[in-house]
Each structure stands twice: as C-alpha cells, then as structure tokens.
C-alpha cells in the first residue's frame, strides 16, 4: 500500500519597520503596524504518518533526533515548538517529522515562527483541514505566545503565512494584512539597493522582547516614544514604497534604527554598532538589525554604485553578505506518494 508524505514550506521575512508595535500590550492600547516582505529563504516541514503511536522528530538545524509517544509530549526545552504543534491537533496516528530552515534560530529573520507556520501547514495538509491564512497565522501565534509563553509579537506568523510585501496592522481585536501593490521596477530597484549581512551572532529574542514589554508597561517615556515614532516611520516607509521614493525609505531606515535602539540596551552591541558605522562610512544610507536585535542579520540600504564596496568591507570585517531575492508567495503545502 502506497503511503503519503505531507510537506510544507514557509518563507522567512525581512521587516523594514514597526517591530515592537506588534507586541502586547502595545497593539491593544495604541494599535501597531509593521512593514515587511518575505524572501527566498524558507522553513520546511515534512510529515510521514506512522502505523504506531510514535512521534519521531528530526531537526537538521539542531542536529537532534528524538522519539516520543504521541500522547506523552511534555515540554522540557527540547523541540517544544514541534511538540506544541503536535499537541494542538488531533493526531490519528504517530508520525515522522523532519524540519529544517535556511537560517539559524535567533537570526532575526523570523525563523522560529516561520517554522511553526510550516509545521501547522504540514498538519493541515495531513488532516485535510480547511484553514484560512488568517486562521493559520492565529493558531501559530497562540501556540508560540500562549501555549509556550514565548515572549514576542505577531508579525512573523502573518508574514510567513501570507507572503509578499505587506503592511500589517495589529489592532485590539483583530489583525489586518494589507498586501502592497508595488511597481515591479521599484521592487527590483529596492532589491538591488539592499544588502543582507549576517553578523555571526545569534540571540534569544524572547529575553529582549520581555525586557522591552516590561519597560512599556511601566510607562518608561523613551520606550513609549520610540514605539510611537517607529509606527509613524512604518507608515512613512509604506508611502515611500508605494510612490517609489526609495531614498526616503533608506533615510527612514536609519531613523527607525535610532529609535529601535531606545527600546532596550541589548538590541545593539559593539559588534553591531561597529559594522553599521563601517557600512555608513562607505555609503550606506540606512539600515537596522532584523528581528528583536542583539545579533542576527543587518539589513542595509545602499546606492548601487557603492554596494560592492560595502559588501567588500563587511566581508573583511568577518561579516557574511548573503544574497537574497523577494518572494511573492507565503505558506505552501503539498503531498507526494512515498
């Protein structure tokens, strides 16, 4: 008898501005907004049903292989995200799960949330569930933020599920994904003007987010003002993209990075500051550390005439420039006969 393998892939994202305004309780109190796009780096999940009740998980990223009974999935710090997804759905049998991503966890490209989206997608495909994109993103958010109590926002789940350029609004009772109709020549020019640079460091984003959230709740003025200003800059960047004013977007990136660093001292580091200043000296207009901060990837906007020089000096500083392209699609699921 032929068996089936159920697969899913979801794209990682780069966020231009607004990260932090998607973290509760800011959106409930003031409404948040994020501008982001997905890129050609992905998180993958493959699921093969078993005839017994074992759940076998293999993670290429962590070089871990584990074996559990599907009804005994205790959270113990080892692949808890995968266990939480499995616990969310009514599994008729055990399964073999294989997961991997094109960027390491803690890189700032939303890889953990994107992996969760891919896992939910694989279970959806296996169980033939009629879930909408909004439902998939919300389930993923609930698994991470409520079930596992991992500090963080909502943007990554929606970005990975929907894909493409989106202006995402986070309101008190709902999230609205607004796809942006950007002219092809503007997308190409923006892609040509951006550098993605891996700093060589990863970090646990939840620690930074928790500290930032505590500062907002306690009403620390610099943090509240920085979040408000970042939301304004997110709207400015959206308009710059839609009108094709890319120099304005580059300058807003620099302003947003200045504001972002006000949220928590751990968002930047001497390594990040040195790389950014080096890049600015050689022509970069603006940029930011992606994700919560503390490490991962730098996103830099630089005129194309200076792009190769910036890439060279960053490489000489032991940072890794990573080629990428924008993608339009979001979560994809499919099955094959094995």
Q: How far apart are CA 137 and CA 130, in angstroms?
A: 14
In the numeric block, which tokens belong to residue 55? 């759940």
Contact 294, 269 (CB under 8 A): yes
Q: HEC states along 239-275?
A: HHHHHCCHHHHHHHHHHHHHHHCCCCHHHCCHHHHHH
- Do residues 297 and 196 make contact, with C-beta atoms less than 8 angstroms apart? yes
Helices (H) and strands (E) in the chain, counts: 11, 13
Q: Is the link from the previous residue into 196 a cis peptide, with omega within 30 of 0?
A: no
CB 115 within 8 A of CB 81: yes
Q: How far is CA 205 from CA 143, 210, 260, 300, 318, in A?
A: 17, 9, 14, 21, 23
Residues recognised as catalytic = 156
- Count of C-beta atoms within a 10 Å radius of residue 328: 12
Bridge partners (DSSP) listed for residue 67: 56
């Amino acid at each position: 008898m032929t068996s089936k393998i159920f697969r899913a892939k979801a794209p990682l994202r780069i966020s231009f501005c607004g990260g932090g305004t998607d973290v509760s309780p800011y959106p409930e109190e003031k409404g948040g907004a994020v501008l982001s796009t997905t890129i050609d780096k992905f998180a993958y999940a493959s699921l093969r049903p078993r005839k017994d009740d074992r759940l076998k998980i293999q993670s290429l990223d962590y070089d871990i292989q584990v074996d559990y009974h599907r009804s005994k999935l205790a959270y113990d710090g080892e692949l808890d995200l995968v266990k939480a997804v499995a616990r969310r759905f009514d599994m008729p049998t055990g399964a073999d799960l294989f997961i991997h991503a094109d960027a390491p966890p803690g890189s700032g490209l939303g890889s953990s949330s994107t992996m969760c989206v891919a896992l939910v997608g694989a279970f959806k495909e296996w169980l033939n569930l009629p879930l909408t994109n909004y439902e998939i993103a919300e389930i993923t958010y609930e698994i991470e933020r409520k079930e596992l109590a991992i500090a963080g926002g909502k943007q990554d789940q929606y970005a990975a599920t929907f894909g493409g350029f989106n202006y995402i609004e986070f309101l008190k009772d709902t999230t609205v994904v607004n796809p942006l109709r950007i002219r092809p020549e503007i997308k190409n020019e923006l892609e040509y003007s951006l550098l993605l640079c891996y700093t060589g460091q990863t970090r646990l984003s939840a620690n930074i987010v928790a500290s930032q959230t505590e500062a907002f709740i306690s009403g620390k003025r610099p943090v509240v003002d920085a979040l408000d200003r970042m939301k304004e800059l997110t709207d400015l960047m959206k308009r710059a993209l839609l009108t094709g004013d890319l120099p304005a977007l580059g300058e807003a990136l620099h302003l947003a990075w200045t504001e972002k660093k006000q949220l928590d001292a751990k968002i930047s580091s001497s390594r990040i500051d040195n790389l950014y200043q080096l890049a600015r000296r050689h022509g970069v207009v603006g940029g930011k550390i992606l994700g919560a901060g503390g490490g991962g990837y730098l996103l830099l906007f630089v005129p194309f005439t200076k792009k190769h020089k910036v890439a060279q000096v960053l490489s000489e500083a032991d940072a890794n420039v990573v080629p990428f392209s924008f993608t339009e699609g979001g979560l994809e699921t499919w099955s094959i006969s094995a």
